[in-house]
Amino acid sequence: MSAVPVIAIDGPSASGKGTVAQRVAQTLGFHRLDSGALYRLVALAAAREGIDAGDEAKLAAIAARLPVRFEGEEIFLEAERVTDAIRTEENSFAASRVAALPAVRRALLDRQRSAREPPGLVAEGRDMGSIVFPDASLKVFLTASLEARAERRYKQLKEKGIAATLAALLQDLRERDARDATRSAAPLRQSPGARPLDTTSMNAEQAAAQIVDWYRGGNR
C-alpha cells in the first residue's frame, strides 16, 4: 500500500481543511479521508450510550467497533444518517476531548490507514502527516489567523441556522488549539517536511490549486 500516494493535510480547527481536501481529491480523482469525522462519530455514539467523554476505556471500545459507513459526502452510524448531527458545536467540542485520548487514537489508527486505496488518498486531520501517514507523498500544514477561522465558523453556523457569536467562537477555538497542541497523544504541530500554507487571505479554490500544483510538481 505504500505505493499508493497520500496527500496529508493537517491543521487547526476551522482552517478550511475539509473543503480544501475535498477540492484536491476531486481534482486528482483521489479518495478522501476526513479523520475528524471519526472522532465526532465516537463522541456522538458515546453521548447516545450515556458514556462520559472522559471514559477512555469505554470510548476506545466504541472506536474499535464503530459501525460507520461513508457514502459520498453522507455519513451513517449504523443505518442512521448523521452527517449534520456529528458537526454540531456541542458534539464537536466533545470530539475534541475524545481525540485527546491515546487509546481512542490507537483504536482508530488501522481504520484510517485502511482508507489508503488506489489511485490515491487525500487525508485531512491533525496527525495525518506525523502519525497516520508519515510516508505521505506531500504533507501540508494548513493554517489561518484565529480571527479568520472564527469568521469562517460563524458563517458556516449561520448558514445552517445555528445561533453563535464571534466572541464565543474565538474563545472556543483558542481552547481547542491549546488542547490539540498540548495533548500527549499526537499533538497538533507541523510535521517535518510539511509545507505550510496560510489561507487567511485565500479562498478554498486557491488553497486547493496550490496543493495540487505542489503535488503535481513533485510527481512529474
pLDDT in tens, 22-74: 999 999 999 999 999 999 999 999 999 999 888 999 999 999 999 999 888 89
Burial of 7 (0-12, 13-18, 19+ CB in 10 A): buried
Would the pLDDT of 179 be above 90? no
Residue 1, domain member (yes or no): no
- 139 within domain boundaries: yes
Total number of domains in the chain: 1
155 within a domain of the structure (yes/no): yes
Measured distance CA(155)–CA(132) in Å, rounded: 31
Predicted confidence at residue 88, as pLDDT, reads 86
4 vs 150: CA distance, rounded Å: 35
Does residue 207 lie within any of the structural domains?
Answer: yes
pLDDT band, residue 2 (cuts 50/70/90): low
Question: In this structure, are residues 6 and 133 in contact, taking their beta carbons and an 8 Å threshold?
Answer: yes
